[in-house]
Amino acid sequence: MLRRAVALGVDHIDTAAFYFSPLRSANELINAALAPYPDGLVIATKVGPWRDAQGVMQGMARPDDLRGQVEENLRQLGRDHLDLVNLRTLSVSKPVDEHFAALAALRDAGLIRHLGLSNVTVEQIDEARAIAPVVAVQNRYSIDSRRPEADDVLEACAERRIAFVPFFAIAGEGREGGRRTSELEPVLAVARAHGATPAQVRLAWTLARGNHVLAIPGTGTLAHLDENVAAGALRLTEGELALLSSLA
| CATH assignment at residue 105 | 3.20.20.100
Strand 82-88 and strand 112-118: the pairing is parallel
Residue 158 lies in a domain: no
Total of domains in the chain:
1
Cβ–Cβ < 8 Å for 168, 175? yes
Burial of residue 181, with CB atoms counted within 10 A of its CB: 0-12 exposed, 13-18 middle, 19 or more buried: exposed
Cβ–Cβ < 8 Å for 201, 190? yes
Residue 153 lies in a domain: no
Q: What string of pLDDT tens digits covers the 248 residues of the chain?
A: 999 999 999 999 999 999 888 788 999 999 999 999 999 999 999 999 988 777 777 889 999 999 999 999 999 999 999 999 999 999 888 999 999 999 999 999 999 999 999 999 999 999 999 999 999 999 999 998 777 789 999 999 999 999 999 998 997 555 555 555 678 999 999 999 999 999 999 999 999 999 999 999 988 899 999 999 999 999 999 999 999 999 98
Q: In terms of residue numbers, what domain contains 20? A: 2-138
State the catalytic residue, choosing from 6, 10, 19, 78: 19
Residue 111 lies in a domain: yes
Residue 53 lies in a domain: yes
Residue 146 lies in a domain: no
Residue 226 lies in a domain: no
pLDDT at position 220 is 86
Q: CA-to-CA distance for 80 and 102, rounded, in angstroms? A: 18
Cβ–Cβ < 8 Å for 244, 201? yes
Residue 40 lies in a domain: yes
Torsion, Cα of 113, 137, 70, 104 (10° steps): 60
> Could you confirm whether 19 is annotated as catalytic?
yes
Q: Going by C-beta distance under 8 Å and a sequence separation of 6 or more, which residues neighbour residue 195? A: none
Q: CA-to-CA distance for 227 and 206, rounded, in angstroms? A: 15
| Nearest residue to 156 via CA among 113, 117, 193, 182 | 117
Residue 149 lies in a domain: no
